[in-house]
Amino acid sequence: MMDHDAKIFVAGHRGLLGSAIVRALRIAGFMNLITRSRDQLDLRDNGAVRVLFERERPDYVFLAAARVGGILANGTLPVEFLVENLAIQNSVLIAACDTQVKKLLFLGSSCIYPRMAPQPIREEYLLTGPLEPSNRAYALAKIAGIELCNACRSEYGSNFISVMPTNLYGPDDNFDLTTSHVLPALLRKIHIAKMRADTTVSVWGTGTPRREFLHVTDAADACLFLMNHYDSAEIVNVGTGEEITIGDLAQSIAEIVGYNGEIVYDTSRPDGTPRKVLDVSRLIGLGWRPCIALKAGIARVYQEVDKSAWLDPGSRPSQQGNSAFDATQNDPDLSLHGAACLPDSDRYRRERNPIQVSP
Ligand SMILES: NC(=O)c1ccc[n+]([C@@H]2O[C@H](COP(=O)([O-])OP(=O)(O)OC[C@H]3O[C@@H](n4cnc5c(N)ncnc54)[C@H](OP(=O)(O)O)[C@@H]3O)[C@@H](O)[C@H]2O)c1
């Protein structure tokens, strides 16, 4: 268990998940946090990263910095996704290993699993088949990160754990239509369609792929839980275990936004993996449960996010300052759940039940 005086480095603290981890840590009473923006420290620079670790000597590290993007960005920038992610994780993991941090949590992704993995996807399906081509570079970098965590563990005794979240969403998401993931892209597109009174809105692909989504506050809560309660080399899936088709997701978003036009499918665009839902029984078995239902979570994001620049196709309202909240404020989702949902509350974990996805 992390003690409340522990020095904790959150790498990528301005990102979707990193900012939620900072909020969760603060709410749980951890105040000795180290953060560096990209301007202050380029995590690809292993010399600069080593200086930070030698100077600050963090006890715990959450590695939430990465080059992250949706299907279009992954498909068009494979060099960047491979090289930047390898560079970030190599420099942080080696510095953490050399300076003997007590524990590090590495964030991988559900993209690491084979394209045609049996569903729901269990952790042991890693490296059992070919990857989805559209994000293979990103996936291979993440797989290399898992391997490096375990190599540091076996060679140097480092307590590094690897966590594989499903698709995340939240108020600090990237809403840039060229680089964002499917949920924020749909939210922005459908909002624009409503504001312009368009009679149709186009959704990429056939609408049939099945996906799983986790609110970033739940994801951050799971990260704290695993940092406190999990010490194994085996990777851990983090998700809801619930799935929804892209078509049903678009319909739900239309209801939240209040858009009454028709959703049409652009089948010239790729679908990606046909079905992707994680088996979360390892995490559930450890005693953690998600608590934010999908529709309530999306409605909350839609309410929180600054939509003022969304109609401008050239604007890039994204992570920094996009939300009405930032990492220094209290968790905006507390009002959804009340005190019982305070991160890392054992009472909450024992008592709460998973909330079903309501398409
Ligand atoms: N989002 C998802 O759906 C999802 C799903 C599964 C796994 N994950 C994993 O979860 C982690 C966090 O994802 P996220 O969605 O929070 O990503 P994000 O919002 O894009 O945030 C990534 C953060 O990393 C920082 N960063 C990137 N390159 C950097 C560099 N060279 N030096 C310093 N900082 C750098 C970014 O800084 P700037 O703010 O300066 O850009 C940003 O703060 C990643 O490892 C990702 O692979 C995410």
Give, as one character, the DSSP assignment of residue 323.
B
Which pLDDT value is given to residue 206?
A: 97
Q: Say how many Å lie between the CA of residue 138 and the centre of ligand 1.
A: 12
Mean pLDDT along residues 322-332:
29
Give the model's confidence band at 313: pLDDT under 50 very low, under 70 low, under 90 confident, else very high: low
How does pLDDT run across 26-56, given as a tens digit for each residue? 999 999 999 999 999 999 999 999 999 999 9
Give the model's confidence band at 314: pLDDT under 50 very low, under 70 low, under 90 confident, else very high: low
Residue 190: count of CB within 10 angstroms of its CB:
26
Q: Which residue has the tokens 């600069």?
A: 48
Please choose from 36, 37, 38, 163 the residue to mutate so as to test ligand 1's pocket, defined by most ligand atoms within 8 A of CB: 38
Q: Which residue has the tokens 């790498």?
A: 11
Active site residue 230: no
CA 201 to chain centroid = 27
CA distance 76 to 80: 9
Which tokens go with 326?
Answer: 């930032």
Q: Which residue has the tokens 């300052």?
A: 321
Q: Which of 60, 113, 138, 169 is catalytic?
A: 138
CB 208 within 8 A of CB 247: yes
- Does the C-beta of 298 come closer than 6 Å to ligand 1? no
| 84 or 328: which leads in pLDDT | 84
287 CB-near residues (< 8 Å, 6+ apart): 225, 229, 349, 350
The pTM (predicted TM-score) of the whole model is: 0.88
Q: Say how many Å lie between the CA of residue 80 and the centre of ligand 1.
A: 13
- Does the C-beta of 111 come closer than 6 Å to ligand 1? no
| 332 or 81: which leads in pLDDT | 81
The yes-or-no verdict on residue 329 having pLDDT over 70 is no
Mean pLDDT along residues 130-142:
95
Q: Which residue has the tokens 């939430």?
A: 64
Mean pLDDT along residues 313-342:
34
The yes-or-no verdict on residue 358 having pLDDT over 90 is no
Phi, psi of 176 (to 5 degrees): -70, 125
Domains of the chain are 8-351 (3.40.50.720)
